[in-house]
């Protein structure tokens, strides 16, 4: 699945490609894990809360039943980060203040 963020002129400034996985890591439309495959953000829009926006849309609107969010951190030796629903909710709300 793909989420897109556009600016006021309708130009794409960011996108997020994600999927739902079951406990065993297999694709499942009702899975409990969100796997963020790829995020791209235009350089003019970095540090603008766009990642929080994507996580909020996915975890609260698109897949509210999901318990975890996983993604590969390219800047950190490709390690995989796993965040639970509590941390995700806290971070999303922190971005709104």
For residue 97, what is the DSSP state? -
CATH number at residue 17: 3.40.630.30
State the Cα–Cα distance between residues 59 and 48, nearest whole angstrom.
19
**58, 23 in Cβ contact below 8 A?**
no
Q: What is the pTM of this model?
A: 0.79
Average pLDDT, the chain: 86
- Structural domain that includes position 6: 2-96
Residues 6+ apart with CB under 8 A from 62: 1, 3
* 22, 15, 38, 44: CA torsion to nearest 10: -150
> Based on the structure, what is the number of domains in the chain?
1
Tens of pLDDT along 16-45? 999 999 989 899 999 999 999 999 999 999
DSSP H or E segment with residue 95: helix 85-96
Q: Given pLDDT bands bounded at 50, 70 and 90, which one contains residue 53?
A: confident
């Amino acid at each position: 699945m793909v989420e897109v963020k556009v600016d006021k002129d309708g130009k794409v400034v960011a996108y997020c490609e994600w999927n739902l996985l079951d406990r065993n890591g297999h694709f499942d439309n009702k899975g409990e894990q969100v796997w963020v495959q790829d995020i791209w953000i235009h350089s003019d829009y970095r540090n603008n809360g766009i990642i929080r926006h994507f996580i909020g849309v996915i975890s609260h609107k698109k897949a509210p039943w999901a318990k975890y969010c996983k993604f590969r951190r390219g800047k950190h030796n490709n390690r995989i980060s796993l965040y639970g629903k509590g941390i995700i909710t806290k971070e999303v709300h922190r971005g709104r203040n």
